[in-house]
């Protein structure tokens, strides 16, 4: 059965901390791994990774994919209260499927 598992389920940190969110997957016909941020509304797209070992960066956020070990991490450095959200990991596959994890809820305390 295809699945995506995220950990931890929730996380509380203080502003300025660095956090690492994990996503492991077992999906046949893999095409891409996607990260989204969801703040009480629609998921907003952060990153798409398709190749192993290549880091994607956007400001304080970065992500990397390991296709051999079937996982990805999302790092957020110097966290801010605006980073508080649910972070979703998804795997895109052939056959028009996206498999979503249940998300990691991040709370950043001032």
Partner 1 sequence: DAGITQSPRHKVTETGTPVTLRCHQTENHRYMYWYRQDPGHGLRLIHYSYGVKDTDKGEVSDGYSVSRSKTEDFLLTLESATSSQTSVYFCAISDRQGYEAFFGQGTRLTVV
Window 71-110: residues binding partner 1 (CB under 8 A): 88, 90, 92-98, 100-103
Window 27-56: residues binding partner 1 (CB under 8 A): 29, 31-32, 34, 36, 41-45, 48, 50
Least Å distance between CB 17 and partner 1? 26
Q: Exposed, middle or buried, 69 (CB in 10 Å: 0-12/13-18/19+)?
A: exposed
Least Å distance between CB 72 and partner 1? 14
Can you tell me the distance from the alpha carbon of 7 to that of 11, in angstroms, rounded to the nearest whole number? 9
Least Å distance between CB 75 and partner 1? 20
CA atoms within 13 A on the CB side of 30: 23
Peptide bond into 8 cis (omega under 30): yes
Q: Is residue 61 a contact point for partner 1 (CB under 8 A)?
A: no
Q: State the maximum Cα–Cα separation within the chain, in Å, rounded to a whole number.
A: 44
Can you tell me the distance from the alpha carbon of 22 to that of 12, in angstroms, rounded to the nearest whole number? 15
Q: Is residue 65 a contact point for partner 1 (CB under 8 A)?
A: no
Chain residues that interact with partner 1, rule: CB under 8 A: 29, 31-32, 34, 36, 41-45, 48, 50, 88, 90, 92-98, 100-103
């Amino acid at each position: 059965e295809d699945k995506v598992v995220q950990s931890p389920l929730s996380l509380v940190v203080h502003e300025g901390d660095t956090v690492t969110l994990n996503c492991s997957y077992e999906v046949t016909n893999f095409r891409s791994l996607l990260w989204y941020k969801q703040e009480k509304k629609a998921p907003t797209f952060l990153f798409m990774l398709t190749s192993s070992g290549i880091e994607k960066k956007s400001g304080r956020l970065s992500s990397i994919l390991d296709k051999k070990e079937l996982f990805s991490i999302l790092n957020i450095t110097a966290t801010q209260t605006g980073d508080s959200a649910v972070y979703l990991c998804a795997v895109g596959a052939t056959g028009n499927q996206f498999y979503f994890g249940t998300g990691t809820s991040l709370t950043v305390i001032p």
